[in-house]
Homo-oligomer: A and B are copies of this chain.
Amino acid sequence: MTVIVDGMGGDHAPIEILKGCAAAVEELGIDVIVTGPEDLLKKTMEENQIPEKGITLRHAEQVITMEDEAGCVLKAKRNSSMGLAMDLLKNGEGDAMVSAGNSGAVLAGGTLIVKRIPNVKRAAFAPILPNKTGYFMLVDSGANEVCTPEYLDQFGALGALYMKHAGFAAEPRVGLLNNGTEDCKGPELHQQAHALLRDNPAVNFVGNVEGRQIFDGVCDVLVADGFSGNILLKSVEGTASYMTKIMKESLTSNWFSTLLAALLKPQLKKMKAKLDYTEVGGAVLLGISKPIIKAHGSSNAKAFKNAIRQAAAFAESGAVETMTQLLSAPKAEPAGK
């Protein structure tokens, strides 16, 4: 199993990436190809005594920044760490790919270099988040800010297949993010998507899900249009960060509570781990013909290791093959649709 890693994506490139790759080799037995400026990668490995074992470097001169336009990965910056990683994946030199770089470029490269599974309407970002009973997938978290009911229907079917193959649920329950739980809720887009999901034989649809229920374990796949999904994901991040700050302030407001809080460190650490969604890896780029994982921009070595593990498991699971099969099956629908 070989995972290709964009060596220059994210806030802590390349050092945390290389450390994460070395950990993946050492702890998980996964081979890694890292793309990027070879001199810089080599130097970073030497200076930080990162073992070379299992890591192959592939030279790419350019780097895609967060400010770059998404499309640059296709032409102007094709010879970048991300562009090369996409080409290697497309050409079968590795089984899966991880990047923590520019999301728009990951989406553009995935869609137009690696390409979608036939009949997939749109690729979507699908992070996996913890909840009270385990984990759920949010799809789409921001790839498509304008959606059609058909996109949402497909997000549900593909998300369910991923969650099943990844071992999260035998028969994943699919919910639709909406502004109320009643069937008739939401704008037209959501009402139509609700009807399609309900009638889709490939989807175990459990109906509309409100924002306040998302952590209750009511579904394994939460379908959202990319705009609302993005608002949801980021407001969860914002709220968690705000609460953590308030908790820290409250617990260290005097010497006595600071002392008590120090004694509670193991419990607080356990709590943090339960909220840490990089434990699972990154966001799946759902609908692409090869496994691509988008790691969080702020990923550290451990998050990269987990994203590499997730990418390898994605490739091993055969999920892409099952998705391809599902979408190539003739549907009981009027011809020409």
Contact = CB atoms under 8 A, between A and B. Distances in A.
Nearest to A237: B212
Contacts of A251: 264, 267
A28 interface: no
A271 B238 CA distance: 17
A253 B271 CA distance: 11
Interface in A126-140: 131-132
Interface in A239-261: 239-243, 245-247, 249-251, 253, 256-257, 260-261
A52 interface: no
Interface stretch (A30-38, A227-235, A308-316): A227-235
Interface string A133-155: 00000000010011000000000
A236 interface: yes
A142 B247 contact: no
A177 B247 contact: no
A277 interface: no
Given A260-B264, A267-B250, A215 B239 contact: yes
Contact of A210 (B234, B253, B264): B234
Contacts of A239: 214-215, 235-236, 239-240, 243
Summarize A's interface: helix, strand, loop or mixed. Answer: helix
Contacts of A249: 271
A213 B238 contact: yes
A112 interface: no
Contacts of A92: none
A274 interface: yes
A179 B142 contact: yes
Contacts of A132: 242, 245
A195 interface: no
A250 B251 CA distance: 15
A334 interface: no
A213 B263 CA distance: 31
Interface string A144-184: 01100000000000000000000000000000010100000
A1 interface: no
A186 interface: yes
Interface in A9-62: none
A4 B132 CA distance: 41
5 contacts: A211-B234, A232-B232, A239-B243, A240-B243, A243-B275
Interface of A: 131-132, 142, 145-146, 177, 179, 186-187, 210-216, 226-228, 230-243, 245-247, 249-251, 253, 256-257, 260-261, 263-264, 266-268, 270-271, 274-275
The 10 closest A-B pairs by CB, nearest first: A211-B234, A211-B235, A215-B242, A250-B271, A239-B239, A212-B238, A179-B230, A212-B234, A250-B267, A212-B237
Given A232-B232, A246-B274, A246-B275, 20 more contacts: A132-B245, A145-B186, A177-B231, A179-B226, A211-B230, A211-B233, A211-B234, A212-B234, A212-B235, A214-B235, A214-B239, A227-B228, A228-B228, A228-B231, A235-B236, A240-B243, A243-B243, A246-B271, A251-B267, A256-B263
